[in-house]
Structure 1
Amino acid sequence: MKRIFTSVLFSLSIIGAAFAQDIQNNPGSNHGNKFEQLGTILNTPNEQRTASGAPGTKYWQQRADYNIKCELDEKNLKLTGSETVTYFNNSPDPLTYIWLQLDENEHNTLNNANYQSSSSMPRFSTTQNIDRSAGRNGDVDNGLGDMITKLTDATGKKLSYTINKTMMRIDLPTPLKPGAQFIFNLDWNYKITDRLAIGGRGGYEYFPEDGNYLFTMTQWYPRLCVYSDFQGWQNHQFTGRGEFALTFGNFHVQITVPADHVIGGTGECINYSAVLSPEKMARYNRAKTATAPVEIVTLAEAKKAEKAPSTAKKTWVFQANNVRDFAFGSSRKFIWDGMGQKVAGKTVMCMSYYGKEAYNLYNKYSSRLVAHTVKTYSDFTIPYPYPVAQSVEASNGMEYPMICFNYGRTEKDGTYSESTKNGMIGVVIHEVGHNFFPMIVNSDERQWTWMDEGLNSFVEYLTEELWDNKFPSKKGAAYTIVDYMKLPKNELEPTMTNSENIVRFGPNAYSKPATALNILRESIMGRKLFDYAFKEYARRWAFKHPTPADLFRTMEDASGEDLDWFWRGWFYGTDPVDISLDSVKYAKADLDGKMPAARRPNGAPKVAPATVNSFEDLSKSRNKNDKNIKFLTDRDTATQDFYWKYDRGLIGVDSAKFASIMKTQAANAQPNTPEAVTDADRAKYANKFFYELSFSNKGGLVMPIIVEFTFKDGTKQVDRIPAQVWRLNERSVSKFYIQDKEVTSIKLDPMRETADIDESNNHWGKIPEPSKFQLFKQRAGGAGPVRGQSVGVNPMQVSASK
């Protein structure tokens, strides 16, 4: 679920993490710790969650049903919607309020989560990034985020509400009793953001070559937070990283878009006959029983739609039952294909949506991968329960029920590198696999990221291995995690760490737990015991809200193995306040400095070798020798592309042709270089004052940093930095400021409100002579290729067989 960020020349400091304690019975000894039971760490069993790891006789969870109408205004890049929500209180508690998530507020300068990160003064920067840094001060509303225009109960009476950053509390007129339900109506709108420029999971991507947009609409409607037996309301702020805890329910969604748009959304479209031509409808019906993808909207039709945008509108209607969320993709650029996949006697419609930029990869692989993933995950967990599963190419990687957004684009000539192909295969399997974790087995991703990403990465690994025995999986095999495990302890956190506080997010939340589970399966429990217990966990907690204790206990309960030592080792240390202002750096923008050297696009220095594993790990070897396993690429010859043969030495490349292409590419490559600042930029930035303040936490107790600036004209300004600034480095942080006036002195905690035990290190009264950093305007198109875009010369282009 990673996303694109514009290349930034500020270096953001890395910050340290809080984590679940490994409580030891005998910490001063060399025994009595590693193999002690987890009883002092895990939550106490009760009537909701039993000691066996199964839901108890009094287990309960809430439900929220949505009836939504929305319209996508492509011209003004705005989404407007209204929703009627029916909230069912299945808890034993009377509720006086309910909480909603407003995730779009992530992009608002005033209502975002205000979790700041350490920042430092850049050596040189673009004007765009300076403006972005200035915008983080949160003193000007940029107009983004959710705009609530109406909130009433079922009778039309106004309801009182409070917005706290990315969360919204609705105050109920009377307490909502156990077993009762509450209906409310909510109208809202927001400006759709440029996802590649501003970041985030949803928004639009603009294609200047054909003048069209591709919309990925995610976290787009105000939605209920989870109220659970183990923590009450899960209303932690959305910072952009930690994902979602969500409530199951039924969705009826009407989406109005330009008439030439194609939509893929959560659930089944129940009015295809109204929005599709008879020819496309016939293709869709034919795809249901097809064993290979059928194009429902063809490449030629998508190209034609790009050239003549429609001004009319159409409304697509979707129904999705027993899901925790709803997302959709919409564009006139979409080619749309699909095929059926049988799972437990039912047909799952496996479909893909992609632009011409991804055609040669997605047309061959995407829907086949969706089908393979749905089938394989079903074998390892529970039968896939939904009627559709969809993959959308959007230079992205993010998941929602029945639909996900992925990456993988070809060169303009239709060829692609093997790394692009393998990346595309991996991301489609991973994101489609998220249907099972956490869309069905619905863990709290914001609290325990690994229960989502780690479990899914583990089954992704199993699925990749069954796709092609030579597939170069990046996580799962034990050797792939060695370099991470070698890192100094101050660069590591336990896997049981909140998502916001992880320094090395990928290895911690994805690779390490996936590897741990694979080691447990292959080297400790054996496949038979492990697979049975893992399926039992999925069966017990499908459409429910499990915690880590429920997984740990179920795996032991269903296998007869005492694994507390394993969970402790693979998954689990009174300080005063003394914050010191250690140094202050001061700079002015160098508007006439020497331009940085031009950077040319990267090109491969030689023909890329086959990207196969360097050796057959335990899983690959066992799979190859298992006569019951038939790899998909062996069974379906349509998947055997150039690289499948290249990896097996069945095809070569023309080295002379490669050298010729490289020479031409080097001569024609356009350098990616900054541009000199304009007169307007000069006027804007010449009188700015740039400061970097470095702080150290000498006492050890993390607290907010309160900074008072005194300017040369005698005025003062106070900045209050949240305590979360220490979350990735509890000892030292820095903060970059852009001021309109020169600073003469700085003081920490001027009102003495943090109980700082040493005020002698809270002052800075003498500012050093300014250094300079170079400031340039970013060249148009200089952000580099989108995620998953194949770049450079690739072996397909110099195949000896051409």
Structure 2
Amino acid sequence: MRNIFYTLLGLLALTFSVRTATAQYETYNNNKFKQLKEELPTPNVYRTASGAPGHEYYQQQADYEIEVTLDDENQTITGKETITYYNNSPDDLNYLWVQLDQNVRARDSQSKKIRQRSMNEKMSFGGMKRMMNDFDGGFKISSVKTNRGTKLDHTINYTMMRIDLPETLESGHSYTFQIEWNYNINNRMEIGGRSGYEYFEKDSNYLYTIAQFYPRMAVYNDVEGWQNKQFLGRGEFALPFGDYDVKITVPADHIVGSTGVLQNDRDVLTSKQRNRFEEARESDSPVLIVTEEEAIENEKEGTSKTKTWHFEAENVRDFAFATSRKFIWDAQGVDIGGKRVMAMSYYPKEGNPLWERYSTKVVAHTVKTYSKYTIDYPYPVAISVNSKRIGMEYPMICFNYGRPEEDGTYSERLKYGMISVIVHEVGHNFFPMIINSDERQWTWMDEGLNSFVQYLTEQEWERNYPSRRGPAYKIVNYMKGDKSYQTPIMTNSESIFQFGNNAYGKPATALNILRETVMGRELFDYAFKTYAERWAFKHPTPADFFRTMEDASAVDLDWFWRGWFYTTAHVDIAINDVKWYKVETGDPRIDNPIARKMDDADEKYIANQRNAKSVEKTITEKDTATADFYNRTDEYDYTSLDVERFKEYTASLNEEEKAMLDTNMNFYEMEFELVGELPMPIVAEFSFLDGSKEKIHIPAEIWRMGDEKVSKVFWFEKKLVGVEVDPNLETADVDRNNNYWPARNIPSRFELFKKQQRGSPKNRMQRFQEAEER
């Protein structure tokens, strides 16, 4: 019996122990300040715990020799390439993976099969055309063979092609093979796409922006092995670095802008154009190499002849080009770290006057500003090409929208939208073209980081520039939205809800908050630049970024990465209560009158106020014999003996203790509540009776013990009249109504309007011009 008793007692103790341990584990596991251990990969010889490349870090290389011909009559590309692939990994490889991104537009593509469609009561012709699109896109691979001409076995799996090697490619060796292909160029205006052509009906000409035009090597690294996820249209590209030798054959009257440096300028440019280019190299403002008048004349011509433009590019991860007989071309030199970089723009006359006024100057400003915050721009050229309804980036070249009205006017929105897209796409040279993250897996590592530096660049272009993303208050509506339509930033590119907010806006805002509120500019800028320097021309992962930012700043940011990047939590910090305290000096001559004045509840009570009028006389007022010592005095009266005792007490104090009895000091106990689930620093601004203000910053670690409510005591000589949390809108707090003491409600604005008449409203420039004409 006794054994059974002790057994039961032991089981109860064990149960209690297990429950306690489980509760403790759950508490730890849910702690917002728990370190990122399980979430981050284990450091190794390739990637260190500090976030730097390890002593055995490696990356593959792929060199290309490419020849392509653009058929302007049939809008096709025909090409052949020789790829030399260097296996710098410690692994032996039996096959290689090649990306066939054009296959996203093939008739049997997966992206078409998984795309949801629905019918509406009203359908536009454009919408119907896109839905019913039967464009015959995708690579037509005509041959895959060894460098000696022998056929190579290969398997095409939608947007990926596996090449089965005849012999194992051993570590430290290279392999060379050849591919021939062709494909139909897509009409971007009708079916969309990152690249393609635009047709100008008025002058029967085309403008081509050509990318993903050749089979490209996939990345093989220590993190993913082969990055051979299918291209479904959203998650962009992961590519190895290499050297490119590219020959592009186009109609003889075309002007070509491209990744790399032109090798045969004497074959494709006139002496006048070459002289202008050399002038532009030393100029600090744009110089026209092909003028608008020359471009207009060129549009009128047509030719069956061709020219081959020869470009070379070193240490780039991709290659793209643009070509048209419509191009105006301007350029200027930019000094970056003692090296002259050519900032250039290519655009049709339809882009003016916006493009000749802004594009190249914005390119120059962008490479300068990004260089300041990351690394010096390493390439010889940076190009912006005007292309309707697109913004897309490649090494040294990008395609950007921005067309004014036919009368040359433009809206303010269009102007700033065009400047912003040029900044953004030129900025992509740094993220991910140089700091080469995996876009197929982590969109935020290129779009989010780039949007952040874009914001810095815009603010240095014009004071109070109307940046779309970056400021904390601009992400609030997203953060407080329906969580069922949000995903953490750390979500694969193809599975993100609200792509713009998730991949661009939220990470850009998070970095801005780190810079302005959590770390401070000096620490942040040093750490961010360190990350750029460490991972320039390498393949960083999220862990490398997170670890470097902490390693270079000595700021524990695990709580920040966890909340902002691994959850959909939002910020909402409230002021719950404020209590005011004054020091009791012990001197009855001071304390008692103050206490009597503060104890006014009897006077305020409504019944007592009415009784003062309705009760003519009380018993103690009628019969004085009923009134004793306590009726004639109150608790706040004092005697000379009380004063003497106080003097004896103060005589026993030292000077520091006497100073603490200062009756001018006001003490305020404040309770703050973490209404939202995302911990953040408490930034509180105190307003005083004399009109002055003081801002106090409390680190986010005040929430480290998992408290939903915390209290702090503040003391001032001045009398406090108000407190505001997040006064400068720096933490993305989603509810401003609970940020004030005394409480305050923030009104929402609404607009009264009449329904507009049909037709496009005139932009402000047009309205002002019309007024001047009158």
Q: Verify same fold: TM over 0.5.
A: yes
| Identity value in percent | 58
How big is the shift at 1:492?
1.1
Q: 1:537 to 1:76 in 2, by over 3 A?
A: same
Picking from 83, 86, 89, the partner of 2:84 is 86
Residue 370 of structure 2 is matched in structure 1 by 377
Q: 1:559 to 1:307 in 2, by over 3 A?
A: same
Q: Does 1:795 align with 2:756?
A: no
Residue 152 of structure 1 is matched in structure 2 by 145
Q: 1:616 to 1:30 in 2, by over 3 A?
A: closer
Residue 238 of structure 2 is matched in structure 1 by 245
Whole-angstrom distance in 2 between the partners of 1:617 and 1:339: 39
Which whole-Å deviations, capped at 9, do the CAs of 1:385-405 have from their partners, x for residues lacking one? 000000001021000000000
Q: Does 1:327 align with 2:290?
A: no
Residue 495 of structure 1 aligns to a residue in which SS? coil
Residue 37 of structure 2 aligns to a residue in which SS? helix
How big is the shift at 1:231?
0.8
Which whole-Å deviations, capped at 9, do the CAs of 1:264-317 have from their partners, x for residues lacking one? 100111111210111111111100011110110000011111111222111101
**Does the aligned pair in 1 maintain the 2:130–2:190 contact within 8 Å?**
no
Whole-angstrom distance in 2 between the partners of 1:440 and 1:389: 13
Amino acid at match of 2:373: F
Whole-angstrom distance in 2 between the partners of 1:26 and 1:101: 48
Q: 1:61 to 1:429 in 2, by over 3 A?
A: same
Alignment of 1:178-327 (within 5 A): 178-327=171-320
How big is the shift at 1:74?
0.3
Higher relative contact order (CA 8 A, sep 6+): 1
Whole-angstrom distance in 1 between the partners of 2:727 and 2:34: 35
Whole-angstrom distance in 1 between the partners of 2:30 and 2:483: 22
Which whole-Å deviations, capped at 9, do the CAs of 1:301-360 have from their partners, x for residues lacking one? 111111112221111010000000000000011100000000000011000001111111
Amino acid at match of 1:116: I
**Does the aligned pair in 2 maintain the 1:325–1:400 contact within 8 Å?**
yes
Residue 38 of structure 1 aligns to a residue in which SS? coil
Alignment of 1:387-536 (within 5 A): 387-395=380-388, 396-536=390-530
How big is the shift at 1:26?
6.0
**Does the aligned pair in 1 maintain the 2:473–2:729 contact within 8 Å?**
no
Residue 610 of structure 2 is matched in structure 1 by none
Q: Which moved more, 1:142-151 or 1:316-325?
A: 142-151
- Which residues of structure 1 form unaligned runs of 5+? 1-23, 136-140, 574-614, 620-664, 670-790
Whole-angstrom distance in 1 between the partners of 2:47 and 2:255: 44
How big is the shift at 1:121?
3.6
Q: 1:445 to 1:616 in 2, by over 3 A?
A: farther
Amino acid at match of 1:795: R
**Does the aligned pair in 2 maintain the 1:105–1:112 contact within 8 Å?**
no
**Does the aligned pair in 2 maintain the 1:27–1:33 contact within 8 Å?**
no
How big is the shift at 1:142?
5.2
Picking from 540, 544, 547, the partner of 1:546 is 540
How big is the shift at 1:143?
3.2
**Does the aligned pair in 2 maintain the 1:94–1:177 contact within 8 Å?**
yes
Amino acid at match of 1:265: S
Residue 464 of structure 1 aligns to a residue in which SS? helix
**Does the aligned pair in 2 maintain the 1:113–1:237 contact within 8 Å?**
no
Whole-angstrom distance in 2 between the partners of 1:406 and 1:186: 31
Q: 1:537 to 1:252 in 2, by over 3 A?
A: same
How big is the shift at 1:119?
3.1
Whole-angstrom distance in 2 between the partners of 1:25 and 1:346: 61
Whole-angstrom distance in 2 between the partners of 1:88 and 1:494: 36
Whole-angstrom distance in 1 between the partners of 2:344 and 2:383: 5
Residue 552 of structure 2 aligns to a residue in which SS? helix
Please state which structure has a larger fraction of its residues in helix.
2
How big is the shift at 1:31?
8.3
Whole-angstrom distance in 1 between the partners of 2:119 and 2:185: 31
Which whole-Å deviations, capped at 9, do the CAs of 1:607-641 have from their partners, x for residues lacking one? xxxxxxxx99689xxxxxxxxxxxxxxxxxxxxxx
Q: Which moved more, 1:142-151 or 1:41-50?
A: 142-151
How big is the shift at 1:514?
0.3
Picking from 157, 162, 165, the partner of 2:155 is 162
Amino acid at match of 1:223: R
Residue 694 of structure 1 is matched in structure 2 by none
Residue 398 of structure 2 aligns to a residue in which SS? strand
Whole-angstrom distance in 1 between the partners of 2:98 and 2:113: 19
Q: Does 1:76 align with 2:74?
A: yes
The count of corresponding residues between Structure 1 and Structure 2 is 568
Residue 40 of structure 1 aligns to a residue in which SS? coil
How big is the shift at 1:144?
1.8
Q: 1:350 to 1:25 in 2, by over 3 A?
A: farther
How big is the shift at 1:549?
0.2
How big is the shift at 1:216?
0.6
Picking from 65, 68, 88, the partner of 1:67 is 65
Residue 352 of structure 2 aligns to a residue in which SS? helix
How big is the shift at 1:130?
5.4
Residue 598 of structure 2 is matched in structure 1 by none
Q: 1:81 to 1:382 in 2, by over 3 A?
A: same
Amino acid at match of 1:271: N
How big is the shift at 1:442?
0.3
Residue 106 of structure 1 is matched in structure 2 by 104
Residue 353 of structure 1 aligns to a residue in which SS? strand
Whole-angstrom distance in 2 between the partners of 1:532 and 1:65: 34
**Does the aligned pair in 1 maintain the 2:129–2:190 contact within 8 Å?**
no
Q: Which has the larger radius of gyration?
A: 2
Whole-angstrom distance in 2 between the partners of 1:401 and 1:277: 26
Whole-angstrom distance in 1 between the partners of 2:277 and 2:538: 33
Residue 34 of structure 1 is matched in structure 2 by 32
Residue 114 of structure 2 aligns to a residue in which SS? coil
Whole-angstrom distance in 1 between the partners of 2:23 and 2:337: 48
Q: 1:494 to 1:260 in 2, by over 3 A?
A: same
**Does the aligned pair in 2 maintain the 1:266–1:402 contact within 8 Å?**
yes
Q: Does 1:352 align with 2:345?
A: yes
Q: 1:230 to 1:460 in 2, by over 3 A?
A: same
Alignment of 1:701-780 (within 5 A): none
Whole-angstrom distance in 2 between the partners of 1:158 and 1:554: 46
TM-score normalised to the size of structure 2? 0.71
Q: CA RMSD in A?
A: 2.3
Residue 748 of structure 1 is matched in structure 2 by none
Alignment of 1:568-587 (within 5 A): 568-572=562-566
Amino acid at match of 1:519: I
Residue 253 of structure 2 aligns to a residue in which SS? coil
How big is the shift at 1:32?
5.5
Whole-angstrom distance in 1 between the partners of 2:214 and 2:493: 23
Amino acid at match of 1:70: V
Alignment of 1:542-691 (within 5 A): 542-572=536-566
How big is the shift at 1:533?
0.4
Residue 341 of structure 1 is matched in structure 2 by 334
**Does the aligned pair in 2 maintain the 1:268–1:320 contact within 8 Å?**
yes
Q: 1:126 to 1:431 in 2, by over 3 A?
A: closer
Amino acid at match of 1:464: E
Q: Which moved more, 1:485-494 or 1:318-327?
A: 485-494
**Does the aligned pair in 2 maintain the 1:25–1:36 contact within 8 Å?**
no
**Does the aligned pair in 2 maintain the 1:113–1:165 contact within 8 Å?**
no
Whole-angstrom distance in 1 between the partners of 2:212 and 2:728: 40
Whole-angstrom distance in 1 between the partners of 2:135 and 2:400: 29
